[in-house]
A and B are shown apart, each in its own frame.
Chain A
Amino acid sequence: MTPGLIGAPLNVAQLYLDGVCRSFDGFKAINGLSLAVEKGELRAVIGPNGAGKTTMMDIITGKTRPDEGKVVWNGDTDLTRIDEAGVARLGIGRKFQKPTVFETHSVEDNIRLALKAPRGVFPVLFDRRSAEENRRVTEYLDRIRLTHLRAETAANLSHGQKQWLEIGMLLAQEPQLLLVDEPAAGMTDAETMETAELLKSIAGERTVIVVEHDMDFVRALNCRVTVLHQGSVLAEGSLDHVSAREDVIEVYLGR
């Protein structure tokens, strides 16, 4: 593919990665990756271990700088020049593979810190809790069904509850794009299906990119699937479409 030309036209792609490369000690974790995601889309990214899924997220969120290529946000912003906090402030939220919440804070404070609000030291230092803020916290707690654990220390939550709390924190940020890394890891089947429903309900209003291993979960998402292999896109389409392809079966599904 000619650099600079990608499948989707610029004006619909909310996020668009163009020929991104990144190597670590000679190993090409991302190798000419190009990807376009439309506003409001729900997209699943699958691929075997080492396909570059997490590195891709690191590049989008400003944690890792690519060696080559561009990451364009809303057609005009190059994300590769912005740090993590800057990317987050643009409206890109990220959920880690391992649930990462603030263990010593209460469930409520976890959400409160995530709420969309000024992030500078001094506005935050002089921030006073308002009734409006409490209402918003309650709203998100209701949505992730942790209202009854409001005052509980986050360290005491179960693994699944921490996953949900982190998703709640992500929602509280009111991001335009959510990057979700293996949300179903460690969840029961019922929780997995509930999580799929939650993510589907978020999409449309917001863009959601899910990295996932669990095929049942991806099937439940019922969305466009991108298969990564050796740091670039191997196939893209519906799950049925990609899982019928010989090369995809060979590198991933057939094992």
Chain B
Amino acid sequence: MTRLIDLRLGLFLAALFAVTVLAPLATTLPSTSALNLPSYLIPLMGKYLCYALLAVALDLCWGYAGILSLGHGAFFALGGYAMGMHLMREIGARGVYANPELPDFMVFLGWTELPWFWYGFDMFWFAAVMALAVPGLLAFVFGWFAFRSRVSGVYLSIITQALTFALLLAFFRNDMGFGGNNGLTDFRDVLGFSLSAPSTRIALFVLTAVALAGCMLLARAITISKAGKVLVAVRDAESRTRFLGYRVESYSVFVFTVSAMMAGLAGALYVPQVGIINPGEFAPANSIEIVVWVALGGRGTLVGAAIGALVVVALKSWLTATFPDLWLFALGGLFILVTLALPNGLLGLVDRLKPRKAKPATEVPA
């Protein structure tokens, strides 16, 4: 029987737990201490964990069900916009134009009333539900049409890419009502807590870590269930699965929707920590980068996806600061390296370096 928490996941969760406890503690140390962690690093780490969660979401549908989505950034951004809309409403009359009802950009555009699709976002719970429901619903409808028409492989990847590109163009437009080019920003607080307060930052960071751990456990539970085995079966021999009586499209829609909701959750946690959401999050290149994270870490492992995201994003932070021109070359180079030399990613490399386990006696031919 496969265990929910195997060695790899156990080690990862233990490390995540340690960081989640120690990092906030380290910010309270005196600034003269060598172990002091500047508190501005907490939201940065929280942002990294959001990316790790996004990578886990993609790995669930790509690594296990073989659905290579090149548009997962769209689900992430939609979750982010849902939370951003709430944070905009929470600014209230403290905006530049001091309009209690309308966010600044609407006043600036000369709008007199709130568009209907902004209704309800003044309530946190509504925004939180929408952050999951909107990406989930989009994935469900999109997946239902795509999988029912048996669109798969590279064609599916291309239309997911088109999806995120179409949303990019739409969200750039001022008359869409989402702040156009500038997106949503200048947030003040969430649930009454100031976003710039160290305690709020720590709470958001801890919440992100809990969400990451929870989603990894959920994803793991799905993949080790019988349905998870069906997903792998679809990936490896789709028609065999159909002829066994499984409706492949139902399974694909299910996992695609769950994955999109996880991506939406990651986006919703990302926005308050980063302080802005703009249409750039829909950029096709963002979605492709997620694929590189998962490929680098090792697809179909969940833990590898999270590690891949953390490694690549840390590398990106360092490279864009020290050698800004090199980043895209490094990203491309990494992808080539992984494709040619590390087909199973970093975790695959770890497995290869480990001495092989002796085969259990049951496998000896009788």
In this complex, the interface size class of chain A, counting residues with CB under 8 Å from chain B, is 35 or more
Question: Does chain A have a CB within 8 A of B232?
Answer: yes
Q: Is B365 a contact of A148 with CB atoms below 8 Å?
A: yes
Contacts A102-B237, A103-B237, A120-B250: A127 and B242 contacting too (C-beta < 8 A)?
A: no
Question: Does chain B have a CB within 8 A of A112?
Answer: yes
Q: Is B226 a contact of A112 with CB atoms below 8 Å?
A: yes
**What's the Cα separation between A217 and B267 when bound, in Å?**
61
Interface residues of chain B: helix, strand, loop or mixed (majority):
helix
Question: Does chain A have a CB within 8 A of B360?
Answer: yes
- Residues of chain A contacted by B230 (CB below 8 angstroms): 113, 124
- Residues of chain A contacted by B365 (CB below 8 angstroms): 148-149
Nearest CB of B to A219, in Å = 28
Mark contacts of B338-366 with chain A using CB atoms, 8 A cut-off: 1 yes-contact digit, 0 otherwise.
00000000000000000000001011111
Question: Does chain A have a CB within 8 A of B240?
Answer: yes
**What's the Cα separation between A125 and B257 when bound, in Å?**
15
Q: How many A-B residue pairs have C-beta atoms within 8 angstroms? Tell me.
A: 92
Nearest CB of B to A135, in Å = 16
- Residues of chain A contacted by B233 (CB below 8 angstroms): 102, 105, 113
Question: Does chain A have a CB within 8 A of B99?
Answer: no
Question: Does chain B have a CB within 8 A of A1?
Answer: no
- Residues of chain B contacted by A150 (CB below 8 angstroms): 362
Q: Is A88 a contact of B242 with CB atoms below 8 Å?
A: yes
Q: Is B254 a contact of A113 with CB atoms below 8 Å?
A: no
A107 to chain B: closest residue by CB: B363
Q: Is B363 a contact of A102 with CB atoms below 8 Å?
A: no
Mark contacts of B249-264 with chain A using CB atoms, 8 A cut-off: 1 yes-contact digit, 0 otherwise.
0110010000000000
- Residues of chain B contacted by A84 (CB below 8 angstroms): 239, 242-243
- Residues of chain B contacted by A124 (CB below 8 angstroms): 225-227, 230, 246
- Residues of chain B contacted by A113 (CB below 8 angstroms): 226, 229-230, 233, 241, 244
**What's the Cα separation between A63 and B239 when bound, in Å?**
9
**What's the Cα separation between A153 and B61 when bound, in Å?**
22
**What's the Cα separation between A96 and B239 when bound, in Å?**
10
Question: Does chain B have a CB within 8 A of A201?
Answer: no
Question: Does chain B have a CB within 8 A of A206?
Answer: no
Q: Is A121 a contact of B232 with CB atoms below 8 Å?
A: no
Question: Does chain B have a CB within 8 A of A27?
Answer: no
Q: List A129-155 residues whose CB lies under 8 Å from chain B.
A: 129, 147-152
Nearest CB of A to B228, in Å = 8
Question: Does chain B have a CB within 8 A of A100?
Answer: yes
**What's the Cα separation between A214 and B240 when bound, in Å?**
24
A85 to chain B: closest residue by CB: B247
Q: Is B240 a contact of A100 with CB atoms below 8 Å?
A: yes
Q: Is B246 a contact of A101 with CB atoms below 8 Å?
A: no
B255 to chain A: closest residue by CB: A121
- Residues of chain A contacted by B241 (CB below 8 angstroms): 113
Question: Does chain A have a CB within 8 A of B55?
Answer: no
Question: Does chain A have a CB within 8 A of B175?
Answer: no
**What's the Cα separation between A83 and B247 when bound, in Å?**
9
Q: Is B236 a contact of A85 with CB atoms below 8 Å?
A: no
Q: List A180-202 residues whose CB lies under 8 Å from chain B.
A: none
Q: Is A126 a contact of B363 with CB atoms below 8 Å?
A: no
Q: Is A149 a contact of B363 with CB atoms below 8 Å?
A: yes
Nearest CB of A to B251, in Å = 6
- Residues of chain A contacted by B213 (CB below 8 angstroms): none
**What's the Cα separation between A151 and B242 when bound, in Å?**
24
- Residues of chain B contacted by A127 (CB below 8 angstroms): 225-227
Question: Does chain A have a CB within 8 A of B7?
Answer: no
Interface hub of B227, B233, B245, B364 (most chain A Cβ within 10 A): B245
With A105-B233, A113-B226 given, name 8 new contacts (CB 8 A).
Answer: A88-B244, A101-B237, A104-B236, A119-B245, A127-B227, A149-B363, A151-B362, A152-B363
Could you show 22 A-B contacts with beta carbons less than 8 Å apart? A83-B247, A88-B244, A101-B237, A102-B232, A102-B236, A104-B236, A109-B229, A112-B226, A112-B229, A124-B225, A124-B230, A125-B222, A126-B225, A127-B225, A148-B362, A148-B364, A148-B365, A148-B366, A149-B363, A151-B360, A151-B362, A151-B363
Q: Which 4 A-B pairs have the closest CB atoms?
A: A88-B245, A148-B366, A125-B227, A84-B242
Residues of B within 8 A of A (CB): 1, 222, 225-227, 229-230, 232-233, 236-237, 239-248, 250-251, 254, 360, 362-366
Residues of A within 8 A of B (CB): 61, 63, 83-85, 88-89, 93-94, 96, 100-105, 109, 112-114, 119-121, 124-127, 129, 147-152, 169, 173
